[in-house]
Structure 1
């Protein structure tokens, strides 16, 4: 193994350790600052912990896709809008189109994949920075969401006159405390881990993020790698949109705002470098849990939503500074 490779592995291990320690610290602080009800900490209530798992699942799935993009040296700001579009399209197909669950899933996932492919095509062929392209797609996908939904939320409901009961499974629970979205999130993490660590594509993703020019000169299909990571990112954002629709029983074109911030925060807090090349999807899982716990405890203490956004920005900057010191 080369010295450069050993250093990269060392940085990954250090960043993962920092992320795990951060999770422990945040969990302890959440217990300390948790409101009390009938002598018990609300934060540790099984129902509240279940809600955290349910709430982080959508953003976590998006963060997994964002990990691919950031590892390859890019950024995707369109994921929140893609979620809104996917949720709106799901609701419209189920309620106005009369389509079943399988057809809806296939169509919405294909639409998400297409959006990612368009992002990648413009980035690679137009030689435009991913920040600019996905910023434009953020607006475009939001516009598509409003077009398909007519500009307002589309309720689905279940049972007579509603969406098929099979669709509700995606937002339901196994037993009393295990949210299906959380299981889908964990499965996504597992598949992504295999893809990034056990396949040639995964090695190429790290290589492109570490040094795009050197990768191109060594024969790596850089444009195809970018095509792959942006397609995966939008595909997972669409999957999150489907789950979002199933959980809230509606598709709303105004949903998903600031989701890209949460996804980027989870990836960076998990130890992935914003400059690309270094990071793991396991770290993203930990980062997602940290963000979820912070959001939950702030909500339990009725902290203003604008203050929450400010804190997230501070956390991202702090995580980047910590990476540079490491």
Structure 2
């Protein structure tokens, strides 16, 4: 007896769940256009400056979310990324100003620090069998503590110039725009990171290992997947991207503080969940995460343009996260029917 072909309704439902982040982004974008204030006969939301500011505003969270996607794909979590942003932010500010290091050595050292920090967490979780939630919760405290000790608990302002305790002017470009002053450089960095991650997950054997581990770790190990190596590397990449986000943060605001990045880990996880990546691992995409980050950015922006209380904004975003997570719970049953 041959199996009946899938119905049109089934195909539409499957597409809805597969591209939930894209449909959600379109819906929120349309709502933002409808609710946009009008100034001088033009919709404020659709102004090119405003739209580019949305991308600039989510660039740091977007970079973090790309790394978080890799971790969640293997069924893990990384709660330390926000603290690593603070550590990288204050670290690069200290090196450039207090220690008078050059730009390249400072950036490379901070990136290496983020990579090593992530690798250490990956080893603790993968090799010693400690839950990633516990390891990275401890890592969140460790990174924050190191940041505060490094700067004596104070923020470090970045002053540019050629004299002592001044950072190279080149570093200030992270707060500027390129392409004739149109595209914010942090947004461009986010796009480059996202594109590289998409390519990595589409053409490499490493990506197949990620999905295999997230889908069924025991089966992946029996199939010859180097589970330990992959998990450690994934946490290392997440730490590296968190350090990059911290450098971008310091460059945008010309300031590095030990408390920078507080709560960023939750925003990154929100972007990943809204993007359709399963928290149990094995299913998701970077493109979905990018759409999720943009959705949150557009939502925050239109609420701000309408002068909605910041506390109400938190409630709205929280409800969107719960709704996206609820869709994930419904997805398997819906697609099978």
TM-score range, shorter chain: over 0.9
Structure 1 residues 273 and 141, CA gap change in structure 2 (3 angstroms):
same
Matched, 1:191 2:199: no
Instruction: Please report how far the alpha carbon of residue 182 of structure 1 lies from its aligned counterpart in structure 2 after TM superposition.
Output: 1.1
Please point out which of 171, 174, 193 is paired with 1:170.
Answer: 174
For the 8 Å contact 1:12–1:280, the answer to whether it is kept is no
For the 8 Å contact 1:67–1:272, the answer to whether it is kept is yes
Instruction: Please report how far the alpha carbon of residue 258 of structure 1 lies from its aligned counterpart in structure 2 after TM superposition.
Output: 1.3
Deviations 1:261-304 (A, max 9, x none): 11111111111111100011111111111011111112222333
Tell me the SS of whatever aligns to 1:207: helix
How many residues end up aligned between the 2 structures? 317
Please point out which of 219, 231, 255 is paired with 1:214.
Answer: 219
Structure 1 runs of 4+ with >3 Å offset: 10-16
Matched, 1:321 2:326: yes
Deviations 1:232-283 (A, max 9, x none): 1110010000000000000011111111111111111111111100011111
Instruction: Please report how far the alpha carbon of residue 126 of structure 1 lies from its aligned counterpart in structure 2 after TM superposition.
Output: 2.3
For the 8 Å contact 1:121–1:227, the answer to whether it is kept is yes
**For residues 313 and 266 of structure 2, what CA distance do their matches in structure 1 show?**
12
Q: Corresponding residue for 1:103?
A: 105
Map residues 152-171 of structure 1 onto 2, 5 A cutoff: 152-161=154-163, 162-171=166-175
Instruction: Please report how far the alpha carbon of residue 28 of structure 1 lies from its aligned counterpart in structure 2 after TM superposition.
Output: 1.1
Deviations 1:167-214 (A, max 9, x none): 122332102220111111111111111211211111100000000111
**For residues 299 and 116 of structure 2, what CA distance do their matches in structure 1 show?**
34
**For residues 21 and 72 of structure 1, what CA distance do their matches in structure 2 show?**
25
Larger Rg: 2
TM-score (norm 1): 0.93
RMSD: 1.7
Map residues 103-142 of structure 1 onto 2, 5 A cutoff: 103-142=105-144
Tell me the SS of whatever aligns to 2:145: helix
Q: Corresponding residue for 2:7?
A: none
Q: Corresponding residue for 1:256?
A: 261
Structure 1 residues 88 and 173, CA gap change in structure 2 (3 angstroms):
same
Tell me, which stretches of 5 or more residues in structure 2 are unaligned?
A: 1-11, 332-337
Tell me, which stretches of 5 or more residues in structure 1 are unaligned?
A: 1-9
For the 8 Å contact 2:97–2:159, the answer to whether it is kept is no
Map residues 197-236 of structure 1 onto 2, 5 A cutoff: 197-236=202-241
| Higher mean C-alpha deviation, range 156-165 or range 122-131 | 156-165
Instruction: Please report how far the alpha carbon of residue 34 of structure 1 lies from its aligned counterpart in structure 2 after TM superposition.
Output: 2.0
**For residues 175 and 128 of structure 2, what CA distance do their matches in structure 1 show?**
39
